[in-house]
Amino acid sequence: MRWIIAVDPKRNAQALAWCQAFAKGYDLSHVEWIRFDTGRHLPGRRQPQGVYGRCYYPSRDRRTFRVSCQVPGPFPHRPISKRQPLYEGRDPAWLSIPRGWESNGIGEAVRPDGTVIRWNSVCAYTRLATQAEEIIWSFGHEMCHFLRRSRQIPGRNGEWQADIFGDALLQAYRERLSPSETWSWPARIDPRSRNHRQERLPPPGSVRMGVAAQLLIRKRRLSTGKTTYFFPPSTASFMTLATRKRTTRRAGILMASPV
């Protein structure tokens, strides 16, 4: 496994060492490389901004994982950080947005038995003051995808789960905790638990309240006989489909821009 460092190693030495120490607590035998850079700077094109990354899963042509984190800045900035959706019936005040959060809209789906499920997609903002904090947060997000995909930690492998994991590692870094102290955290910040919001997440910054918009989801039966729900392109900038017979090569994309 290789570490590819294409950011200032002196200015970010502490953050890079923290990430490497965190990774030692897990099995990286199936990871080809972990990369940190500032994005692709191409002449005549808009320069990359914000923080984003990808966790590449194994494919037919490549049997390894790849973790890529891009941290171009500028600093400080506040990328959007997704939170656990609020479900109708399970959360009594599912239409009431917690303070400091924002609604991305109302989702609706129908189960095979005809039961209608509605949820409120919510998010907050994570303030990243320096490139070092960008490194920690994006690393935590992408490592969550890797660790859950490789079944080294429990829980579902989704975007809001990865954002929460990134927030938790960022808070540990800010509190100057040793990476080894976080190895027992996954059970505590498991998305199936409702307690992670109060335990380890830093308080979100003040954000303007958004107006919930109805998200339309179309149901479509694939040729494989499976039922899948699709968000319209305007509400989902990236989507991958996975079935038992076919998986996409690219997954776990993290994208954000300065606010």
Predicted local confidence at residue 74, as pLDDT = 87
Predicted local confidence at residue 171, as pLDDT = 92
Q: Which of the 8 DSSP states describes residue 85?
A: P
Calculate what percentage of the chain has a pLDDT beyond 70: 68
Distance CA 91, CA 85 (A): 9
Predicted local confidence at residue 47, as pLDDT = 67
167-221: per-residue pLDDT in tens? 999 999 999 888 888 876 654 554 433 333 333 333 333 222 222 222 223 333 3
How far CA 250 is from CA of 65, 150, 157, 227, 239, in Å, comes to 10, 15, 14, 22, 10
Report helix, strand or coil for 257: coil
For 10-49, give one letter per residue: b (16+ CB within 10 A) or e.
eebeebbebbeebbeeeebeebbebbbbbbeeeeeeeebe
| Residue 165 confidence class, pLDDT cut points 50, 70, 90 | very high
Q: What is the mean pLDDT of residues 96-106?
A: 86
Calculate what percentage of the chain has a pLDDT beyond 90: 48
Residue type, 74: P
Predicted local confidence at residue 46, as pLDDT = 67
Domain edges within the chain: 2-86+119-254
Backbone angles phi, psi at 160, to 5 degrees: -70, -30
What string of DSSP letters covers 28-53?
A: -TTEEEEEEE-----TTSPPP-EEEE
**Beta strand ranges found along the chain (DSSP E):** 2-5, 31-37, 50-56, 65-73, 80-82, 86-87, 102-110, 116-125, 218-221, 227-230, 250-254
29-54: per-residue pLDDT in tens? 999 999 999 987 656 666 678 899 99
Distance CA 206, CA 136 (A): 22
